[in-house]
Structure 1
Amino acid sequence: MTKLGFVLPDEFSHVSLEQTLEFARRADETGLHSVWKQEASGSNGVATLAAVAQCTTDVRIGTGVASVYSRSPTLLGMSAATLQQLSSGRALLGVGVSSPPLVERWHGMAFDRPLRRLRETIEIVRQTTAGGTVEYDGEVFDIGPYSMALETTDEVPVFNAAISDANRALTGEYADGWLPAFIPQPSFSSHVTDVRESARDAGRDPGELTVAPWVPIAVDDDPDRAERRVRYLLAQEMAMGYNEQVNDYGFGDAPDRAHALFRDGDRGAAVDAISGRMVDELTVSGTESDVREQLQRYARDGADVIIAMPSMDASVAEIESLIDALGRIDDSA
C-alpha cells in the first residue's frame, strides 16, 4: 500500500525552526509515513531532524537530501547512526550529488566525479553505521582502518536522489530507495522499471527498493487556488536549476522562461510562465478528492511512498491543512 510523506517547510518558506517542528509533530499525529528535511543555505538538516526525533514518536525522519560533498562519508554515517538511535530506528538517509553551484559556491569544493563519489559514500556509510572496523580503499576515498563505537540496532536505509540515467542505475545497484523529483508522471513508470531492472541486474531483489517520488502538492476547496500554489513552487524550483532537468521532457521554453523571470524578481510573470502541461505532469493539486485520485496514478505506476512538497508561498494555515488532508488520504488508501 502506498504511503504518504511530507517535506518540512523551512527558511526558504519563511518558516521558523519552531514552526518546522510543529509541522513535524502534526505529521506524526496524522499518521504520515515520513517527514524530510531539505538542506541548502538554511538550517542544518541533521540537527533539525535530531530535534524532530525528540518531539515525535512514529513518523520516520529523513534527510532530503544530504549532499555527499557537504559532509565526509564517515560523518554522514555517524549522523545517520545518531539519528537512528535518537529516533528509535526511524531514520532514513537521503543522499545526492547536489549541483555544481551549491557544491562550488556554498562549500568551496570541486564538483568532481560525482557518481563515483556517491557510490563510495554509500558503501562507506554502510560500514560506518554497522559499527566495528571501517576500512575502505576506493578511487575517491582511502579511509581507515578505524573502529566505530556508535552502532545502530537496525540498518539505516539509504535513499538516492538520482536524476540521470547513470545515477538511476547506481540507485538500483547500491541504494535502498530512490528519491526522484520533477519526473513527469507519464514518464514515471518507465523510470521505475529502469531502476528496478538495475537492481535485478546487480543481483538484488528489485521489490526491496523503495520508490519515493517528491511531488508538489496543494489541496484546497478552490482548485484554482491550489493550482496557483503548485505553479509558484514549480517557478521557484525552475529558478533553482530544475529547468535544465525538465527541459529533457519537451516542455518547450516554459521552464527556461520561468527560471529567468523568477531570478529577475518578476515572480508573478514566472508563475504565469509555467505551462498547463507542466502543472498536469509535474504536480498534484485540487480538492481533496481530486488529489486522492491523482495520487493513485503514482501508486499504480510503482510509487511506494509519495512525498508531498508544499508550496514555498503557502501560509502556515494552508500547510497545516495540507498535512491534515494528506493524513486523511493516507488513511483511506
Structure 2
Amino acid sequence: ARTGRLYDGWLPYPPDPADYRTGLHDIHQAATAAGRTPEAITPALFVTVRIDDDPRTARAALDDYARATYGMPLAELEKIQAVVAGTAEQVAQRLSRYVTAGARHLITRPAALNLRAQREQMERVAALIPDLTTPSPPRTRVRPGQ
C-alpha cells in the first residue's frame, strides 16, 4: 500500500511469478486509491541467475553460491527469493514469466563466486535481453551484476 501511495518504483524478489503479479496488482490498486496512476510506479525484479549448458551444472553452481553467500542450500533459498538456473533457454523462459507478470526492469545478480565466472555469467545474461522485452513499450531492461 505504501508503494502505491508514495514510491516511484518496486523491487521485490518473490520466488513465484504469480506472487509478483498479485503484489503488483495490489500496488496498482493502492496507487489508484491514492489518486496516482499505476504507471507512475516502475515494477522491477531482483533475481539471482545462473546459466550453464547443463541444467544440473547450473543448479549445482547456484547451490554453491547460495551456501557461500547465504549459508543455506539452494532448496531453502529458492523458497524465499527469486532464483533461476538452467540453460539460456530455460532461464529466458523463467524470466519471461516475471515479464508477463508485469516486471519492466530485471536486476540480475550472477550466481558466480569469482570474477571470471561473474563476467561470463553477465555476458550470458546480457545475451538474453532481446528475448526478454515486452511486445510494446516500456521495454524490459536487464542489468547484469549488482
**Range of TM-score over shorter length:** 0.7 to 0.9
Measure how far apart 1:295 and its partner are.
0.8
TM-score if structure 2 supplies the norm length?
Answer: 0.76
1:178 and 2:10 are equivalent in the alignment: yes
- State the alpha-carbon separation in 2 of the partners of residues 233 and 317 from structure 1: 14
Q: Is the 8 A contact 2:66 2:77 kept in 1?
A: no
Over the aligned positions, Cα root-mean-square deviation in angstroms equals 2.3
* Secondary structure, aligned partner of 2:53: coil
1:202 and 2:65 are equivalent in the alignment: no
Which residue is equivalent to 1:290? 90
1:309 and 2:109 are equivalent in the alignment: yes
Structure 1: give runs of 5+ residues left out of the alignment. Answer: 1-168, 240-261, 263-269
Q: Is the 8 A contact 2:46 2:82 kept in 1?
A: no
Change (3 A) 1:282 1:235: farther
Q: Which has the higher contact order (CA 8 A, sep 6+)?
A: 2
**Percent of residue pairs bearing the same amino acid type:** 26
One-letter amino acid matched to 1:321: E
Q: Show CA shifts across 1:200-230 (max 9, x none).
A: 1111110231111101111111212211233
Which residue is equivalent to 2:130? 331
Measure how far apart 1:276 and its partner are.
7.8
Higher Rg: 1
**Alignment coverage as a number of residue pairs:** 130
Change (3 A) 1:302 1:236: farther
Change (3 A) 1:190 1:223: same
TM-score if structure 1 supplies the norm length?
Answer: 0.36
Q: Is the 8 A contact 2:20 2:101 kept in 1?
A: yes
Measure how far apart 1:198 and its partner are.
1.2
Structure 2: give runs of 5+ residues left out of the alignment. Answer: 133-146
* Secondary structure, aligned partner of 2:47: strand
Runs of 4+ in 1 over 3 A off after TM superposition: 232-237
* Secondary structure, aligned partner of 2:93: helix
Change (3 A) 1:200 1:229: farther
Q: Show CA shifts across 1:147-203 (max 9, x none).
A: xxxxxxxxxxxxxxxxxxxxxx1111111101112x121311111111121111111
One-letter amino acid matched to 2:121: L
Q: How does 1:110-149 map to 2 (within 5 A)?
A: none
Which residue is equivalent to 1:221? 53
Change (3 A) 1:171 1:321: same
Which residue is equivalent to 2:139? none
1:320 and 2:119 are equivalent in the alignment: yes
Q: Is the 8 A contact 1:212 1:304 kept in 2?
A: yes
1:275 counterpart (70, 75, 78): 75
